[in-house]
Amino acid sequence: MEAYKEAIAECLAEPLGQPTETIVPMLRTPPEAAWGDFAFPCFTLAKAWRQAPQQIAAQLAQELTLAAPVAAVAAHGPYLNFTLDDDILSREVLEAIARQGERYGCGDEGRGRKAVIDYSSPNVAKELAFHHIRSTMIGHALKQILEARGYRVEGDNHLGDWGTPFGLLIAAYERFGWDDAADVEDIVQLNALYVRARNEAKADADFAATGRRWFQRLEAGDPQARKRWRWFVDVSLTEFDKVYDLLGVSFEHTLGESFFEPYMDDAIAELQARGLVTKSQGALVVDLSAYDMPPCLLKKQDGATLYSTRDLATLLYRRREWRFDTCLYVVDMGQSLHFAQLFKVLDLAGFEWAANCHHIPFGLVLQRNPESGKWEKGSTRQGNASLLKTVLEAAIRMARERMAVSNPDLADAELVARQVGVGAVIFNDLKNRRTRDVKFDQEAILNPQGETGPYMQYTQARCASVLATAPETIHVEPLYELLQQREERALVRKLAAYPDAVAEAARTWEPSVVAQHLLAIAADFNSYWTRGNKDPGLRILRPDAADLTAARAALTAAVQTVLCNGLKLLGVPTPDAM
């Protein structure tokens, strides 16, 4: 749709005496679709022309010469409203969608550029909590969206598999043991041990010290410590992969923090060579007080490395080995300061590429505290967060039960239930602006009605269903001028704007732009569909009118293509029946 602004600007360029480049950004979309496709506000001309904007609009409306595809111009108060030619628009848009198929919505701004995205990145030894859906799916969606716009993208699941907690975990294992006969999955027992280790460390200073020593042994390569640790990681990865399979997410790299352990000394040395590292209170730091930030800690008093050290080594490695142009960190907002420090340190070290590293923050998942009634950050450490697996299972159950009544004969019911349940959870997370905190509300997540994943999937299934029963006539060249219904014209325009939505989502790193646009398309299509229930003349398939059927089937196919393309970007599956 963006491309048509150029045509409008050309009509205005001569009379305004301005180049099209300055006119295009001034064009707006009128609040009422019936008023036109683009609006040019005349306020800014008022001063220069010494006339009221209303007069300017009225005058210009008279004088302008229009060229296809611009069909009409009308003054509406201080605005000049332009309308595109419906027939040309329908033809161009629907033909483009049919021709490009799953490439419709793609672009090439990112061509020749490589992006590395750090997302999901759960901590080992804990189950995936519901809040892990955020980084995982926002990251996955951004990966797909950037790829659609021409970037080469590599995803890295930066597992939290290193640090003092693992020393504590080994200490807990040694002290409390492991119950091989326990009737729970290993990950559950491991998670429980993790929580216990943490609590014990808080209550017992000796235990905490033992844990810290274990981590030192781990870093030193002690075989016993390594063996325990490796096993903790394997148990966790087995569990994570189950959930990733369900979500349809995969990574080019799964390099935990431990992988970068051998690179940490080099990273520190590199900063030392640049004179950035100082000793403060017994710790090794980069002083950032000149930038109103606390120091970036590289090594603790006891010599152990920290989160910052590992992230630093990781980023240097990624740049050196993977040669990214852009590196994105899809991590919650609570870590804004950490990333500000990290990027500042690299900037001070003289790495100009640090400017192309970005933290893509998102809001926290808040759980209602049953005692205080307040919304607060859930924590797997305290064991009070809902598990992602549990929510997904509940959503799948919801879909299964729903289908048992609405479509009991459906083939592949179990597969579809999984697609719908998982789609519900994913879409629920991606439909809103990522920086908002989200209040965990399982009931809302499982509701399949309204602005939800199942609603989107249902709409796509309706398209598939009608096209499956469409007669062969749809293969004749559609007469696009037959698409004269208000709903049909509105749909064509929204389909035309879909690539703009993908481009904006890529530019602002905001998947919800795509989700919101798809919602608007689905709403229009469902409304269009239902009108056919009341008025048979408005049905898509008209046995009595082959040409009309062909045109409407072409529109339906285009809607289906765009819904499928968009939902694919978001990671929402699209069953053809449900």
Question: In the window 147-176, what residues touch RNA (CB under 7 A)?
Answer: 160, 162-165
Residues 8-37 that bind RNA (CB under 7 A): 28-32, 35-36
Is residue 39 near RNA by the rule CB under 7 A?
yes
Q: Kindly tell me which of 94 and 438 has the beta carbon lying closer to RNA.
A: 438
Stretch that binds RNA, among 62-70, 132-140, 148-156, 399-407 (CB under 7 A): 399-407
Is residue 345 near RNA by the rule CB under 7 A?
no
Q: What 3 state SS string does 519-568 have?
A: HHHHHHHHHHHHHHHHCHHHCCCCCCCHHHHHHHHHHHHHHHHHHHHHHH
Is residue 322 near RNA by the rule CB under 7 A?
no
Q: Kindly tell me which of 71 and 538 has the beta carbon lying closer to RNA.
A: 538
Residues 112-151 that bind RNA (CB under 7 A): 123
CA 456/CA 427 separation, integer angstroms: 9
**Could you tell me if 58 and 14 are in contact, meaning their C-beta atoms sit under 8 angstroms apart?**
no
Is residue 49 near RNA by the rule CB under 7 A?
no
Q: Kindly tell me which of 162 and 351 has the beta carbon lying closer to RNA.
A: 162
Q: Kindly tell me which of 175 and 531 has the beta carbon lying closer to RNA.
A: 531
Q: How many CB atoms lie within 10 A of CB 296?
A: 25
- Nearest approach in angstroms of CB 220 to RNA is 16
Is residue 509 near RNA by the rule CB under 7 A?
no
Tokens 């216990």 appear where? 196
Transcribe 150-205 into DSSP letters: T-EEEEE---B--SHHHHHHHHHHHHH---TT-SS-HHHHHHHHHHHHHHHHHH-H
CA 542/CA 89 separation, integer angstroms: 23
Q: Which of 101, 262, 294, 471 binds RNA (CB under 7 A)?
A: 294
**521-525 LR contacts (CB < 8 Å, sep 24+):** 521/491, 521/494, 521/495, 521/559, 521/562, 521/563, 522/455, 522/456, 522/459, 522/563, 524/487, 524/490, 524/491, 524/494, 525/459, 525/462, 525/463, 525/491, 525/556, 525/559
Stretch that binds RNA, among 97-105, 259-267, 276-284, 566-574 (CB under 7 A): 276-284
- Nearest approach in angstroms of CB 571 to RNA is 18
- Nearest approach in angstroms of CB 163 to RNA is 3
CA 45/CA 78 separation, integer angstroms: 10
**Could you tell me if 160 and 529 are in contact, meaning their C-beta atoms sit under 8 angstroms apart?**
no
Q: Which of 265, 435, 471, 476 binds RNA (CB under 7 A)?
A: 435
CA 400/CA 176 separation, integer angstroms: 41
Q: Which of 63, 376, 412, 477 binds RNA (CB under 7 A)?
A: 376
Q: Which of 103, 230, 439, 475 binds RNA (CB under 7 A)?
A: 439
Is residue 364 near RNA by the rule CB under 7 A?
yes
- Nearest approach in angstroms of CB 182 to RNA is 26
Residues ≥6 apart with Cβ < 8 Å to 389: 127, 128, 242, 243
Is residue 51 near RNA by the rule CB under 7 A?
no
Distances (CA, A) of 541 to 93, 157, 159, 534, 537: 21, 47, 52, 14, 9
- Nearest approach in angstroms of CB 559 to RNA is 13
Q: Kindly tell me which of 31 and 275 has the beta carbon lying closer to RNA.
A: 31
Stretch that binds RNA, among 6-14, 86-94, 147-155, 287-295 (CB under 7 A): 287-295
CA 217/CA 174 separation, integer angstroms: 14
Q: Kindly tell me which of 221 and 408 has the beta carbon lying closer to RNA.
A: 408
Is residue 382 near RNA by the rule CB under 7 A?
no
Is residue 4 near RNA by the rule CB under 7 A?
no
Q: Kindly tell me which of 86 and 261 has the beta carbon lying closer to RNA.
A: 261
Is residue 471 near RNA by the rule CB under 7 A?
no
Is residue 484 near RNA by the rule CB under 7 A?
no
Residues ≥6 apart with Cβ < 8 Å to 470: 540, 541, 549, 553
Is residue 111 near RNA by the rule CB under 7 A?
no
- Nearest approach in angstroms of CB 27 to RNA is 8
Q: Which of 371, 374, 408, 472 binds RNA (CB under 7 A)?
A: 374
Is residue 199 near RNA by the rule CB under 7 A?
no
CA 92/CA 100 separation, integer angstroms: 12
Site size for RNA, by CB under 7 A? Answer: 105
329 bridge partner residues: 118, 359
Cα torsion 555, 561, 567, 570: sign: negative
Residues 405-434 that bind RNA (CB under 7 A): 406-407, 416, 420, 431-433
Helices 132-148 and 486-508: crossing angle in degrees, nearest 10, is: 100
Q: Which of 77, 101, 262, 471 binds RNA (CB under 7 A)?
A: 77
Is residue 473 near RNA by the rule CB under 7 A?
no
Residues 530-549 that bind RNA (CB under 7 A): 530-534, 536, 538-541
- Nearest approach in angstroms of CB 376 to RNA is 4
CA 431/CA 307 separation, integer angstroms: 31
Query: Cα angle vertex 382, ends 120, 184, to 5°?
Result: 80
Which helix (DSSP H) or strand (DSSP E) does residue 330 occupy?
strand 326-332
**b/e map 421-431, b = 16+ CB within 10 Å:** bbbbbbbbbbb
Is residue 447 near RNA by the rule CB under 7 A?
yes
The two counts, helices (H) then strands (E), for the chain are 20, 13
Q: Kindly tell me which of 262 and 323 has the beta carbon lying closer to RNA.
A: 262
Spell out, one character per residue from 222 to 261, where the chain touches RNA: x when CB under 7 A holds, - when not: -----------------------------------x----
Measured between alpha carbons, how far apart are the two ends of the chain, in Å?
32
Tokens 């951004």 appear where? 142
3-state secondary structure of 216: helix
Is residue 291 near RNA by the rule CB under 7 A?
no
- Nearest approach in angstroms of CB 497 to RNA is 9
Q: Kindly tell me which of 147 and 576 has the beta carbon lying closer to RNA.
A: 576
Is residue 436 near RNA by the rule CB under 7 A?
yes
Is residue 461 near RNA by the rule CB under 7 A?
yes
Stretch that binds RNA, among 6-14, 58-66, 140-148, 292-300 (CB under 7 A): 292-300
